[in-house]
Amino acid sequence: MRLRFESLGSHIQNPLLPIYWISGDEPFQVDEACKLLRQAAQQQGYSERQVYHVERGFNWDQLRESADSLSLFAERKLIELRLPSGKPGTDGSKALQDYAKSAPADTLLLIVSGKLESAAQKSKWFTAIESAGAWLAIWPIETARLPQWIAQRMQLRQQQATPEALRLLSERIEGNLLAADQELEKLLLLYGPGTIDVPQVQAAVTDSARFDIFGFVDEALDGQHERVARILFGLRGEGVEPVLVLWALEREIRALAQMARNCAGGQSPDQAMAAYHVWEKRKPLIRKALSRSRAPYWESLLTRCGQLDRLIKGQGTGRVWDELLELALSVAGQPALTWTKYG
């Protein structure tokens, strides 16, 4: 069978199935789903847990051997298979099919993997797993659904946010649900249960590097090239990871490229910004950036983001922070400066 994340909580109130496969590229939600299953398994008597990491050369015979043996202190066992690639290979495919055909009644198998490709979902081993148990596919939270997700996480903490505060939180934490949950925990520690407003959100993140990064991006949108260089130099000195700076820039450039395409297709800037749920206070910055350059320009910067990503990962030559500076200044619509002016 197939499960949805939203229905997992009610599903695990019943006796668990012998096999569960959780797949996806959103680590926070994958981890949340695994925690829920582990807790339910423990409550239902699966007191022993064994974890196997499937890497090159993994001996799949261990799966059946583990399932066939219980310790002296446990009547039920949870076996976890960590399969990052989602591809078990020839030996693994056969082992999973055999296991699914005769899954032990006293053993629960939890398989955790990255996103499963469509070809894998049509394979014999996957069909066998799905027939004997359940598959839960985790998908990233879409931008439009993020405020609802945040509101739900706040309700668990007996908090709620004003509409503007909710929108601000969504902008600050998009694309990183783990950081989002940490920010919500910070708000609970600072203000306790109740209603959170915009000033409280701003105050809670004023001293964080993430907020500095967003302020840095806003200065770039505003065309403030000297402040862009100074802030970037400060972020570097504070030990902020280059990948975070690139993430914030690329996120904004991607949105600008799409909005610019929409404008070229006949939309007004206000219509384009409305479709992207741009926060009211940021509209002047976005409008200013859109007026400076057309879609091909922003798309060319997206290409540079890809090149810079490879450089950060060690797959190219160059100076990462110099490249980040040039990218940020390009967003600001200004010629490149040098670090020596600010160093």
Domains in the chain, ordered, with CATH? 2-138 (3.40.50.300), 143-204 (1.10.8.60), 209-341 (1.20.272.10)
- Helices 320-332 and 242-264, interaxial angle, to 10°? 30
Model pTM score: 0.57
What does the block give as tokens for 199? 């000033």
Lowest mean pLDDT among 236-240, 269-273, 283-287, 320-324: 236-240
Q: Which amino acid is at 90?
A: T
pLDDT in tens, 44-100: 999 888 899 888 888 998 888 887 776 556 678 999 999 888 888 899 999 999 999
pLDDT in tens, 159-217: 999 999 998 888 777 667 877 888 888 889 888 999 999 999 887 754 444 447 888 89
Q: Is the pLDDT of residue 250 over 80?
A: yes
> Which 8-state DSSP code applies to residue 15?
P
How close are the terminal C-alpha atoms of the chain, in Å?
59
Residue of 126, 158, 321 lying closest to 240 (CA atoms): 321
User: Higher confidence at residue 279 or residue 131?
Assistant: 131
Q: Is the pLDDT of residue 132 over 50?
A: yes
pLDDT in tens, 307-322: 999 999 888 888 999 9
Give the number of other Cβ atoms within 10 Å of residue 128's Cβ. Answer: 19
Across the chain, the runs of DSSP E, i.e. the strands, are 2-3, 19-24, 48-53, 77-83, 107-113, 134-138, 159-161, 194-196
